[in-house]
Structure 1
Amino acid sequence: MKTKFFNVAGFPSVIGCIDGRHIPIQSPGGDNAELFRNRKGYFSINVQVVCDADLKLINIVSRWPGSTHDSTIFNASFVRAQLEAKELGSGYLLGDSAYPCRPYLMTPVANPATAAEHRYNSSHIKTRNIAERAIGVWKRRFPCLSLGLRTTINTTLSVIVATAILNNLAIIPDDHIDDVDDFGEAEDQAIEENPNALGNAVRNTIIDTYFN
């Protein structure tokens, strides 16, 4: 899978791309209804997905109301705990600027100042675009995800996950899977003063090593 991602735009050791998507719903009613109203003004479930290079949705979190920020969903997710514990091996998820930069989650450089940083951002964007494509394929295959779901909340959450599973079953996988050498891991230590500091250090090492 790392090879497939690398072949897109030369970004090393990517194990998945992460993104959030709002699935429209009808107002659930009750005292907590406004929690489901997102920043664009409509009611939704904010769904977090991780996709692989074959456009499969390999991880999905479907339980947060639309007003919840993407970073909050990620910080509370099981996949984040797995990455923190190194249970998924070495490598990185790619996410947009809505996510925190971590040693296992690479985000774009906010204000690129060097040619290497511009090349890093270009490669990051092209590779992360796979998540946009994966979600687009999923929503086109199941138009209810774009038009909106009018079922109860519990049923809605189940429908979202079920369509993700059916979407994966409809994708024909590539039988040939190679691997590449793992990129050297960054120093394993916590930097409490700045939670992004270790992630930024890893990102800078990638920029210097691969994009300089």
Structure 2
Amino acid sequence: MEVFLRTLGDPGFQEGIGVDIGVNQSTVSRSLISVSEAIYRKRNNWIQFPNTNELLAAAMNKWVNIKQMPRVIGIIDCTHIKIIKPSFHGEEYVNRKGLCSMNVQATCNAKEIFTSVDTSWLGSVHNSRIWRNSLIYGIMNNNMQEAALLGDEGYGVAPWMLTPFRNPTTAIQQNYNLVHARERVIIERCFGQLKRRFPMLNYTIRLKTERIPKYIVSAFVLHNIAKHLLDPYNDFDPIEIEAHPNEQMFEGNQAEIRNRGTLLRNQLAENMFYNAIN
């Protein structure tokens, strides 16, 4: 898998492979793109977000059997994948660090399996905007199981989005933040494993811009397959995941959603604290 994705994203490496097997670089490139397309078509078999009340309830049960935070089904975050600056609308791909990238949103479960991935956004787009326009936002917003995702403080707190307390001042808030950080780190491990397993995702993808989203999704699919096959080579060193600036936006009923989320978080934090000391 590693060789496949490295070759797909590196024309120079493709040329070397072509020399080894007696074909030209363009033939290698076409073959790799064909394989990538085949993997991409299998994405719904390997990347599955719980999208019914029954599946959400089952996901919550699985989480609480492994972890401590109640009502959670997974973690959400974004990671930037660097690309060559496109000639068309190239400035829109430039992120806040001045690098050209795509901002990829993903969710994962407690077993470090990706449950969703969205590769449709440019590097300049903030995480919170991607979240509000994603398919899984609608699922979480309308779920009847009171299920929630864990997110960093760049996401707005909501009944279905549990974020940490900013500047916690009480033992209850500090305990909640400690548990939150310990469990949210799973998504960072997943991104780290993905980028160690497929190094081109940690450097710069050198493909036509329109091909990159499918290439990235193929890597997520192969990551999940590796997990399914109990790939022993999964103890990768962590890769630093950048902190995202806070850009919460609350308009209209969003303020009411924030208030409901804040009340829920307070209640959960209190219950977790007293359960821990009893």
Q: TM-score range by the shorter chain?
A: 0.7 to 0.9
Of 76, 83, 92, the residue aligned with 1:25 is: 83
Q: Which has the higher strand share?
A: 1
Residues 49-75 of structure 1: CA deviation (Å, up to 9, x unaligned): 000111111101101110100000000
1:205 aligns to what?
Answer: 267
SS at match of 1:124: helix
Q: Which amino acid aligns with 2:111?
A: D
Residues 133-161 of structure 1: CA deviation (Å, up to 9, x unaligned): 11111111111100111111220011011
1:165 aligns to what?
Answer: 221
Report the CA distance between 1:194 and its aligned residue. Answer: 4.4
SS at match of 2:146: coil
Residues 99-133 of structure 1: CA deviation (Å, up to 9, x unaligned): 11110110000021110100000000000000001
2:101 aligns to what?
Answer: 44
Q: Which amino acid aligns with 2:112?
A: L
Q: Which amino acid aligns with 2:216?
A: I
Of 65, 68, 74, the residue aligned with 1:10 is: 68
Count of residues in Structure 1 that have an aligned counterpart in Structure 2? 195
Structure 2 residue 154 is the aligned partner of structure 1 residue 92: no
CA contact 2:63–2:72 (8 Å) conserved in 1? yes
Give ranges in structure 1 of 5+ residues lacking alignment. Answer: 175-189
1:54 aligns to what?
Answer: 111
Give ranges in structure 2 of 5+ residues lacking alignment. Answer: 1-58, 231-251
Q: Which amino acid aligns with 1:27?
A: K
Moved over 3 A (4+): 1-9, 190-195
RMSD across aligned C-alpha pairs, in angstroms? Answer: 1.9
Quote the Cα distance in structure 2 between the aligned partners of 1:62 and 1:109: 29
The equivalences for 1:180-199 within 5 A come to: 191-199=253-261
Greater relative contact order: 1 or 2 (C-alpha under 8 angstroms, separation 6 or more)?
1
Quote the Cα distance in structure 1 between the aligned partners of 2:197 and 2:107: 18
In the superposition, relative to structure 1, how do residues 173 and 54 fare at CA in structure 2: closer, same or farther (>3 Å)? farther
Report the CA distance between 1:39 and its aligned residue. Answer: 0.5
Quote the Cα distance in structure 2 between the aligned partners of 1:96 and 1:84: 18
Q: Which deviates the most, 104-113 or 8-17?
A: 8-17
The equivalences for 1:124-143 within 5 A come to: 124-143=180-199
Quick check: which has more Rg, 1 or 2? 2
2:135 aligns to what?
Answer: 78
Q: Which amino acid aligns with 1:123?
A: V
Quote the Cα distance in structure 1 between the aligned partners of 2:112 and 2:118: 17
Report the CA distance between 1:21 and its aligned residue. Answer: 0.2
SS at match of 1:22: strand
In the superposition, relative to structure 1, how do residues 118 and 173 fare at CA in structure 2: closer, same or farther (>3 Å)? farther
Q: Which amino acid aligns with 2:104?
A: V
Quote the Cα distance in structure 2 between the aligned partners of 1:130 and 1:110: 20
Q: Percent identity?
A: 34
CA contact 1:191–1:198 (8 Å) conserved in 2? no
Report the CA distance between 1:193 and its aligned residue. Answer: 4.2
Residues 12-70 of structure 1: CA deviation (Å, up to 9, x unaligned): 1210000110000000112x111100011110000000001111111011011101000
